[in-house]
Structure 1
Amino acid sequence: MKFLFIVPMVLALAHGSVVPNPLLRRGTTRIVGGADAPAGAVPYQVSLRQFGSHFCGGSIISSRFVLTAAHCAEAAIAAFTKATVGSNLLNQGGKSYPVDKFIIHEDYDGYVIKNDISLAKLSEPIKFNINVQPIPLPEQNTEGGADLLLSGWGTTTYPGSTPNELQWINLTALTVDECQRRLAAINPVYENQICSLTKSGQGACHGDSGGPLVADGAVVGVVSWGMPCARGYPDVYTRVYSFKAWIQKEMDENSS
């Protein structure tokens, strides 16, 4: 069964129903096979929370905007959502900023999980410090074989519980052709997506959704979907490079 990487309870609160495709599950995932990230090592990492509970990750890309997945935004209610930054621990530290609104890509398709990208506009600007910093968008495309860094609070097993400490792991990018071949019987994979696969027992899981995939110091991917969890199938991310123009346009139009 394939699934989007958020918390089913959040979906129920937002919509009162499951996703259109009965094969899909949206659930919060944790990185499988990773390690505790050192304090301050991932200053762009965001924990999106509703009613104090983490449901998705995100990336700080400016003082007012957080990059995340469309399926995270679709399942959330902006008025009840806060973006917490500056701490590797879910239970303490950091600062929370209210979300003013979510901006979901107009061509997002939750059935085949396409164009799974959104922005969270914050009600007030983030105050940057040594532990809170934006991450740049990529200047070039990400090719197969690229070294990747994934971070998040997704579960470490499936099923499992959300970890308190931020996890991170080094991964390797697949070519789109190879990813399409491996996932052909499960769900389409598009050119505007990135896949990663190192080995069984390593990868994303519930709660990592919307979080950052990084290469060469830039956020190149947004955690989108996968097979639960780290079972030897590729994980799929929205390719940020393909959406740079959309991101910049929406930030410019919603800056006031």
Structure 2
Amino acid sequence: MLKFVIVLSFIACAFGAAIPEGLLPQVDGRIVGGVATSISSFPWQISLQRNGGHSCGGSVYNSRIIVTAAHCLQSVSAASLQIRAGSSYWSSGGVVSKVAAFRNHEGYNPNTMINDIAIIKLSTPLSFSSTIKAIGLASYAPGNGAAASVSGWGTQSSGSSSIPSQLQYVNLKIVDRSQCASSSYSYGSAIKSTMICAAAAGKDSCQGDSGGPLVSGGQLVGVVSWGYGCADARYPGVYANVADLRSWVVNNSNAIRKCEETITIKDNEIFNQITFTCNMFKFVILLSVIACAFGAAIPEGLLPQLDGRIVGGVATSISSFPWQISLQRNGGHSCGGSIYNSRVIVTAAHCLQGVSASALRIRAGSSYWNSGGSVVSVASFKNHEGYNAKTMVNDIAVIRLSSALSFNGNIKAIGLASSTPNNGAAAVVSGWGTLKSGGSVPAQLQKVDLKIVGRTQCASSTYSYGSEIKATMICAAASGKDSCQGDSGGPLVSGGQLVGVVSWGRGCAAPKYPGVYANVAELRGWVSNNA
């Protein structure tokens, strides 16, 4: 019942059929047929990192702005992101700069992958040198067959959970949009006007290093976006067409540079001074401050905050939470999860957007996300088909491991709740979420004790969520404590059973905004059927 990415690619290659409608494109990162290179040959290349682990590529547009893919910036906050520039190695050297904010193209669609482009604003400007340079944006798409190259740190083979430490590149040929959508290939109508393709026999970016640069004629012509299979003659790599999206990048980058200002909000002796960039950018931190200070309803259409912080909690041992796992992307902690059985993990659907199984692994049986216990690669995953990234309804997913876990005192399954706990029931949430906004991920597992806030109460006038709280959600809170979306995807436990999956919220330990969790009792049937 799980839609394996690998199986999907194999079927497409074997039968030459169009990919079934409604299945997401494959957006992982592999450089196939390429060679190691130096950053001095690709000085515009950066490593975009989540919680210290390489996540995506990107290109230096100017000293403060990075161009990347919108799919790289789903379900993440700026606080958990940084970039490394000026180094051939994603894990060392060069310059590390924190991310102040980002903006995804408002027309981005994760189902069709149209408008898959985004810009990132850095907290400090880059100093240009021979290994850090900006690259110009193409003003027109290169001709069919034009020489191009793509670079990045994507894994080098399908199914690999490790990434090369040194920058890789591969030479390709442009396949223009009309050619890529023609009967010469198998994409057909999936290729849209904001896309361009590139390929070479036995070589591919295989969606390169997602968000990374496709360069032709010394200009940025594409942003690594998606594709099917890997170095398959019928399925070239697909990129966001920079020439078509150039004006969006220019206009939004200029808006950042021109409109920066500082405001101070005062309410009930709370002072919060933050820097923000016009009202074009809906910063999560600004949104949270306004919500906390004024108790106002969040404007319609703004995405929930999905980062991870354990506030008011304490360090703990995995033996107290043996069902807890660390879900990792390219070696860095990404989300939490819970052991359902020896082969299946329960987590949040928002944790598995814009990623393929080959970039994921889990660590179980350790109090530390970066050492000890057992590390197992991910074979496949399935998100709830009713998951909605705007409303956060049905925010649950199951992961299938490539090999079975061996149960012991530190690795155990947890049962799913068959009924929702009562309002006020004791609960506990655990994870490795950062301890404060903008902080780093703690090495040791954290936990915080909370009280259940029933769905009816959470949607009532006592709190400020109102109709945003749906039937598949449950809340939990305690004075001065919060999961603050805890460790996204991680366990909310009550009565020894899994009652919630950390999902979303507003602010952090704000009395008007409890943490919101996927209600396991409501979603139990889906998990059981798909596990």
Question: Shorter-chain-normalised TM-score: which range?
Answer: 0.7 to 0.9
Among candidates 111, 114, 117, match of residue 393 of structure 2: 114
Q: Corresponding residue for 2:382?
A: 103
Per mean C-alpha deviation after superposition, the further-off stretch among 54-63 and 135-144 is 135-144
Aligned to 1:244: 524
Q: Shift of the alpha carbon at 1:75?
A: 3.9
Is the contact made by 1:162 and 1:207 (CA closer than 8 Å) also made in structure 2?
no
Letter in 1 for 2:325: V
Q: CA deviation at 1:101?
A: 1.0
- Matched residue, 2:427: 148
Which runs of structure 2 are paired with 1:41-80 in the superposition (5 Å)?
Answer: 41-80=320-359
Counterpart residue identity of residue 120, structure 1: I
Structure 1 consecutive aligned stretches of length 4 or more whose deviation exceeds 2 Å: 7-14, 16-28
Structure 2 residue runs without a partner (length 5+): 1-49, 57-67, 76-105, 107-299
TM-score (norm 1): 0.87
**Letter aligned with residue 71 of structure 2:** H
Which residue identity does 1:164 align to in structure 2? Answer: A
Q: Between 129-138 and 228-237, report the one with greater CA deviation.
A: 228-237
Matching residue within 502, 509, 513 for 1:230? 509
SS at match of 1:61: strand
The CA deviation at 1:13 is 7.2
> In 2, distance between residues paired with 1:165 and 1:130?
18
Residues 191-216 of structure 1, C-alpha deviations (whole Å, 9 max, x = no match): 221101211x3101366000000011
Task: Report the Cα distance in structure 1 between the residues aligned to 2:380 and 2:412, rounded to whole angstroms.
Answer: 21
| CA pair 115-39 structure 1, distance change in 2 beyond 3 A | closer
Residues 75-94 of structure 1 mapped to structure 2, 5 A cutoff = 75-94=354-373
Aligned sequence identity (%): 37
For 1:133, the aligned partner's letter is K
2:412 match: secondary structure: coil
User: Contact 2:502–2:517 at 8 Å: present in 1 too?
Assistant: yes
Q: Which entry has the higher C-alpha Rg, 1 or 2? A: 2
Separation in structure 2 between the aligned mates of residue 162 and residue 206 of structure 1, nearest angstrom = 14
Quote the Cα distance in structure 1 between the aligned partners of 2:424 and 2:303.
28
Q: Is the 8 A contact 1:155 1:205 kept in 2?
A: no
1:15 to 2:295 alignment: no
CA contact (8 A) 1:183 1:234 kept: no
Two-structure CA RMSD over aligned residues (Å): 2.3
Match of 1:130 in 2: 409
Residue of structure 2 in register with 1:166 after alignment = 445
SS in 1 for 2:319: coil
Q: Take 2:352 and 2:486, find their aligned partners in 1: how far apart are those partners?
A: 14
Offset from partner CA, 1:10-36 (integer Å, 9 cap, x none): 587782455679622655412100001
> Which whole-Å CA distance do the structure 2 matches of 1:48 and 1:13 have between them?
22
In the other structure, the counterpart of 2:474 is: 194
Distance 1:192 1:184, change over 3 A: same
Number of residues paired by the alignment? 243
TM-score (norm 2): 0.43
In structure 2, what is the Cα distance between the partners aligned to 1:16 and 1:27? Answer: 14
Q: Which whole-Å CA distance do the structure 2 matches of 1:216 and 1:228 have between them? A: 27
Structure 1 14/104 Cα, relative in aligned 2: closer, same or farther at 3 Å? Answer: farther
Question: Which residue of the partner structure matches residue 465 of structure 2?
Answer: 184
SS in structure 2 at match of 1:67: strand
Distance 2:440 2:313 in 1: 15
Cα distance in 1 between the residues matched to 2:346 and 2:441: 21
Matches of 2:473 and 2:361, distance apart in 1: 27
Instruction: Sort the Cα spacing of 1:221 and 1:157 in 2 relative to 1 into closer, same or farther, 3 A.
Output: same
Aligned-partner SS, 2:334 = strand
Alpha-carbon distance, 1:159 to partner: 2.5
Q: Which of 297, 309, 318 is equivalent to 1:30?
A: 309
Match of 2:175 in 1: none
Give the Å deviation of 1:139: 3.2
Match of 2:497 in 1: 218
> Tell me, which stretches of 5 or more residues in structure 1 are unaligned?
1-6, 252-256
Aligned mates of 2:73, 2:326 — CA distance in 1: 24
CA contact (8 A) 1:14 1:77 kept: no
Structure with larger RCO (C-alpha < 8 A, sep 6+):
1
Kept after mapping to 1: 8 A contact 2:485/2:503: no
Kept in 2, the 8 Å contact 1:112–1:188? The answer is: yes
CA gap 1:66/1:18 in 2 versus in 1, 3 angstroms:
closer
Maintained 8 Å contact 2:384/2:396: yes
